Amino acid sequence: MQDPTSALQTRVNALSTEFLERFEQLRAEHENNVSLLTRLTAHLGIIALVVIGLLLSGIEIHAAQQPRNYDQPIPAENLPDVDLDQAAAQNDLTLSVSPFTIQPKQERRDVTTYTVKPGDNVSVIAARFGVTPDSVIWANEKLEDNPDALSVGQQLYIPPVSGVLHKVAKGETVLSIAARFKAQPQDILDDPFNQSIHDLKSNPPVLAVDAFIMVPGGSKPLVIRAVTYSSRTPTGAIRGTSTFQWPVGACISQYFWARHPGIDLANSMGTPVVAADSGYIETVGWDSSGYGNMILINHGNGAITRYAHLSAFAVQAGQSVKKGQLIGRVGSTGHSTGPHLHFEIIVNGVPRNPLGVVNSKAPGLCHR
């Protein structure tokens, strides 16, 4: 960048040269008798040029002498120190595990009355309220004999937490109830639902007769329903291959668990149901315990399969069937809240989880 003083000197020299050249021109014009007015105008023009040149030079000099604010940073005060320690470089930003705000579930502290809806089963209802299926069964006496004894519109008690919801009888105490259901007495005393109904601060605690009391973590003994079948295979009956297939194309609406000794396979009314393995039809007809229209196939090797809630039969008792043969159609008879097939595999009198027995790919879980 050119020095301001040198630039001014160059400008002045140029103007001086121009002035001398103009002066010589005026002198020549005078000798040639140029008018006075013309000469005066020329003189004034030269003077004006000199003045303008000096003024512009002064402005440039002033601007050049002033420091620019982007050349020299302005010192700031009271700025926080910045930690450049690489080991702690990521400590100032923490990524959230969830990209959205999670609303905490509101804790239930009362017994809820629930109306059974189409498609419901004990597992679905329990999951909806955040308790175990057993807890729903224990809170409703009718379900203890048959967990599938559900019907649309039926009223169920849903306990506030998992455990046994018990109705207090005369003479019962916290200690006796805890011992009966294999629970801790302190858990009963600490439960907010129990504190709102019973006088648990007295010594000993006073329980309200015929009122509910929640036994958190309690349990009742499991009673497995017996399956009766013939141990003798009829002459000429087809025997099973010991390799099972799924009896219907469907989704799983309820899994196998302790009080539900089979799998519920949901599909539309009338969907074909086939034999899971070869065997003979031991039972076909109505079952009053809740299975509705039901078929039992004896496979002649200690295995029995059950097909329940059917809408129609395609076989008769004593008939032999081959694996994959049509035996009936999906329905919603008996204790059922929607069309599905209740499918069981019983081996030597013991219910087995079909997911661990059937060789083919398992159906997916139904979306609700």
Which pLDDT belongs to residue 28? 65
CATH superfamily of 112-216: LysM domain (3.10.350.10)
What pLDDT band is residue 234 in, cutting at 50, 70 and 90? confident
Grouping H, G, I as helix, E, B as strand and the rest as coil, residue 134 is helix
Strands 279-287 and 292-298: antiparallel
Average confidence (pLDDT) over 297-321:
95
Lowest-confidence region among 9-13, 126-130, 178-182, 293-297: 9-13
Over 90: is that where the pLDDT of 82 sits? no
More confident residue, 343 or 53: 343
Domain ranges of the chain: 4-65, 112-216, 251-356
Handedness of CA 50, 53, 59, 60 (dihedral sign): negative
Which pLDDT belongs to residue 148? 78
CATH code reported for the domain at 251-356: 2.70.70.10
Which pLDDT belongs to residue 108? 76
Give 122's DSSP letter.
Answer: H
More confident residue, 361 or 368: 361
Spatial neighbors of 252 by CB under 8 A, at least 6 apart, are 263, 264, 265, 266, 362, 363, 364, 365, 366
More confident residue, 74 or 248: 248
More confident residue, 41 or 365: 365
Map tokens 């799998």 to a residue. 263
Rounded Cα–Cα distance for residues 16 and 22 (Å) = 10
Which pLDDT belongs to residue 65? 47
More confident residue, 20 or 242: 242
Q: What is the DSSP string of 314-338?
A: ---TT-EE-TT-EEEE-B--SS-SS
What pLDDT band is residue 237 in, cutting at 50, 70 and 90? confident
Average confidence (pLDDT) over 288-315:
95
Which pLDDT belongs to residue 296? 97
Give the closest residue to 152 by CA, choosing from 128, 120, 122.
Answer: 120
Q: List beta partners, residue 266.
A: 251, 340
- Residue 292 gets the label, from left (phi > 0), alpha (psi -120 to 50) or beta, of left
What pLDDT band is residue 56 in, cutting at 50, 70 and 90? low
Give the closest residue to 345 by CA, choosing from 291, 289, 296, 283.
Answer: 296
Q: List beta partners, residue 204.
A: none
